[in-house]
Structures are given as C-alpha cells and as structure tokens.
C-alpha cells in the first residue's frame, strides 16, 4: 500500500515550503517533494536577498493587500524563529521621465495610505550620495520597505514544517500525477504516494507537470537571469546596522523605460547586489550550465557606470537563477477545473518572493476549503485560454 497523506506538495522551494508549514501546523499530514534540497541554487529563490515593498505597481489593488499580509507573516516568522529575516532598509524606486512604473508607485501609495516620499533627482542625490541621477528623474522613497533574507526564510519554514510533522522528500523528482475525483496519485523517483489533496508549486518545472493536468500548455516561460555583487569604494552603499532601522542605503529599482534594474545595499560584506529585471533568454530548467559570463557582468555594470559610479568596483561574485514568468507577468493561483482538491501556484518569478508567506496561507486555504479571503481573480489560469 502506498503512503497516504492529507496533502502532497509538489515543489518544496518557496510557496510550497510555506504551504507545507501552514498545513502541518494545522494538524494535517503533509508530504513535500522536491527534486533538490531546499533552499538550493537550482530554482528562483537563491541569492541571499529579495525586496519587499508595499506601494505596488500593476493592479495594485490586488497586490497591496497581499503584500501587507505577507509583511505581517514575515514579521511573525522572524519573531517565532528569532532570526533577522527582514531588514528595514527602505526602498527607492527611480524613474526616467515618462516612467509609468513610478507613476503607479505614487498612485498605489495614495490609494492605500502607504508612507511614500516623492523626490526630485536633486533630492535623491542629496539624500543618497551613492546615487547619481539627473534632475528630471523622479524617486519614490518607501521607508517601510526592505530586504528579506530569502534562503533563511525558506530554511525557517522548513524547520517549522518538519517540527510540526511534515515529511520532506528531497532529491525526489515527481514524474507523473494522476488526479481522481477525491484524491491524487503522485509517481516519483522513489515510488508512488497518494493523498486526498495536492498542491503543485514546482517553479520552472511547472510547465510540464501542469500540461499533464490541464491537458494543454500554460504559458510559463523559464528565463535565465543573472545577479552580481560589486565591491564599492567607501560606505555610501551600506545597509542599516540594525534590522528595524531604515537609513543609510536602501534597496533600489530603476525604471529606465528600455531597461529595468533592481538591487540591494551592501550586506554581510558581500558587496552591492544588482540584477536586471527585464530581458533574459528562455532556457530549459534541466540545463546544468549556470555559468555567469563576461556579458552578464557587462550588462550589470551598464547601470553602475551611469548612475552608481561609486559601486562600480570589483565583481565579488555572479550567479544565474531562473525566472518563470507568464505573458502578463501576473501569477497563476487557482484550483484545477473540476478538481477543487488540487491547487496550482506558478509564474511567480520576478516579483513573487515577497508574497511567499501569504501564498502559504492562501494555498492551504484553497486546497482545504476551495476559497481564500483574498481576491484571486487576477490569477486565474483560464485567462490564457487553452492555447496560452
């Protein structure tokens, strides 16, 4: 007889690990399966840090309540574990003239009463000596935003899930999923497992698994992305010294119309971290080549040379990760048609990690009750139709 559970979670990286914790905490028998050993470097959650902010662009009325609840849950997780998972650096969103991104940040802050300072280019330079932006640029400073230590966050959920009784099967690939009217059978590299309910949150590997469930492809594109850490001269780019103090240098986002970058202040002596949000090549997530090459460094230095020259020092390390994105860059969060006991979560890369904590709650609620207290209509899978 196969091992049987209340719920199986396929993909124990970010959202899956959080969901596994909330399910196990509530007393459900849970098994999580991951092809690697989370936190790991094969998906989208590595690289030490992620931004969390609340004045959200693009459908902010949907995202802002999620971001606020996520922040509450991150704070609770940090208190529960005693780990400094969130660092309140503040954030600065900088836009070139005509930036719709910055305009949306301003609108979102007004609509949702989120503290935000709107600065001219000259005021940005006066506030943050490490930023060299033209006078006609706009900066939106959000003092309550900051940094999540992403790998520590996943490790914390993992520890708590296991302590609550969840089973974690690492280095175990899921090869097939069969959905029955009142249960599921999951075939893995270590045998068959059954459960009453199922969550699929497999990141870059979701495309293949979900095609077998939906009977058609969902437009999920695994995309190669790079980040680099650069050693600045001086202390202008240092993060605050204490996890609850905004100040010194914030996390940052640049919308330059044709290019979008993001980054982090110097933390733990690693250097200033920077990545490019737009562009990127489609890749096969099973490709083992994760080499950071000279062209990647050149692309990142483009921003430093123009707007942050004091940070344009030696490259201390470069890494490759995978975004998995949908055509409209919104997530897929839904239950399988005609099978409400199967929940699906995919397409989070690029702006998803901040929501991991609240997605854990949402996926638990969806798979156990079929509903959520949040408006998830923006994230329905059927918005793409059968042909993607």
Q: Is 323 left (phi over 0), alpha (psi -120 to 50) or beta?
A: beta
Burial 138-168, CB ≥16 within 10 A → b, else e: bbbbbbbbbbbbbbbbbbbbbebbeebebbb
Task: Give the C-alpha distances (Å, rounded to integers) separating 1 from 9, 24, 176, 277, 309.
Answer: 20, 23, 18, 47, 63
Give residues with Cβ within 8 angstroms of 370, minimum separation 6: 335, 340
Known catalytic residue: 50? yes
> Which residue out of 45, 153, 321, 326 is catalytically annotated?
321
Task: Give the C-alpha distances (Å, rounded to integers) separating 362 from 79, 148, 334, 372.
Answer: 21, 20, 10, 6
Element (H, E) at 275: strand 272-276
CA angle in degrees (0–180, nearest 5) for 124-67-206: 115
Known catalytic residue: 190? no
> Which residue out of 7, 28, 45, 46 is catalytically annotated?
46
Known catalytic residue: 364? no
> Which residue out of 50, 169, 197, 225 is catalytically annotated?
50
Instruction: With beta carbons less than 8 A apart as the criterion, state whether 277 and 262 touch.
Output: yes
> Which residue out of 28, 49, 53, 57 is catalytically annotated?
49
Known catalytic residue: 242? no
Known catalytic residue: 273? yes
Known catalytic residue: 175? no
> Which residue out of 149, 196, 225, 273 is catalytically annotated?
273
Known catalytic residue: 277? yes
Count other C-beta atoms under 10 Å from residue 311's C-beta.
Answer: 26
Count other C-beta atoms under 10 Å from residue 247's C-beta.
Answer: 14
Task: Identify the bridge partners of residue 197 per DSSP, sorted by sequence position.
Answer: 7
Pick the closest to residue 22 from 165, 210, 176, 183 (CA basis): 165
Residues annotated catalytic, as ranges: 46, 49-50, 273, 277, 321, 354
């Amino acid at each position: 007889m196969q091992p049987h559970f209340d719920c199986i979670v396929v993909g124990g990286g970010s959202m899956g690990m959080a969901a596994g914790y909330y399910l196990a905490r509530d007393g459900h028998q849970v098994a999580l399966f991951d092809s690697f050993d989370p936190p790991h470097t094969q998906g989208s959650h590595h690289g030490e840090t992620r931004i969390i902010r609340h004045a959200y662009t693009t459908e902010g009325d949907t995202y802002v309540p999620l971001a606020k609840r996520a922040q509450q849950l991150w704070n609770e997780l940090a208190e529960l574990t005693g780990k400094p998972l969130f660092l309140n650096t503040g954030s600065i969103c900088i836009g070139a003239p005509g930036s719709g991104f910055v305009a949306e940040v301003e609108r979102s802050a007004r609509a949702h009463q989120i503290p935000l300072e709107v600065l001219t280019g000259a005021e940005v330079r006066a506030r943050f000596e490490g930023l060299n932006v033209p006078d006609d640029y706009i900066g939106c400073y959000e003092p309550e935003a900051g940094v999540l230590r992403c790998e520590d966050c996943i490790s914390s959920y993992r520890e708590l899930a296991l302590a609550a009784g969840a089973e974690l099967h690492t280095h175990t690939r899921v090869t097939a999923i069969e959905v029955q009217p009142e249960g599921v059978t999951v075939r893995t590299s270590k045998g068959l497992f059954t459960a009453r309910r199922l969550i699929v949150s497999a990141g870059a590997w979701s495309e293949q698994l979900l095609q077998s469930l939906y009977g058609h492809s969902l437009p999920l594109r695994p995309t190669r992305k790079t980040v680099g850490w650069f050693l600045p001269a001086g202390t202008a780019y240092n993060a605050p010294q204490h996890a609850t103090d905004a100040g010194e240098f914030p996390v940052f986002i640049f919308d330059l119309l044709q290019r979008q970058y993001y980054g982090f202040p110097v933390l733990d002596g690693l250097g200033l971290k920077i990545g490019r949000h737009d562009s990127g090549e489609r890749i096969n997530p099973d490709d083992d080549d994760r080499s950071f090459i000279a062209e990647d460094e050149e692309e990142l230095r483009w921003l430093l040379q123009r707007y942050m020259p004091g940070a344009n020092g030696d490259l201390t390390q470069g890494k490759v990760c995978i975004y998995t994105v949908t055509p409209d860059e919104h997530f897929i969060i839904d239950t399988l048609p005609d099978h409400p006991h199967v929940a699906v979560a995919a397409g989070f890369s690029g702006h998803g990690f901040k929501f991991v904590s609240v997605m854990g709650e949402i996926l638990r609620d969806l798979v156990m009750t079929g509903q959520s207290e949040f408006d998830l209509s923006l994230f329905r899978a059927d918005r793409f139709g059968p042909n993607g």
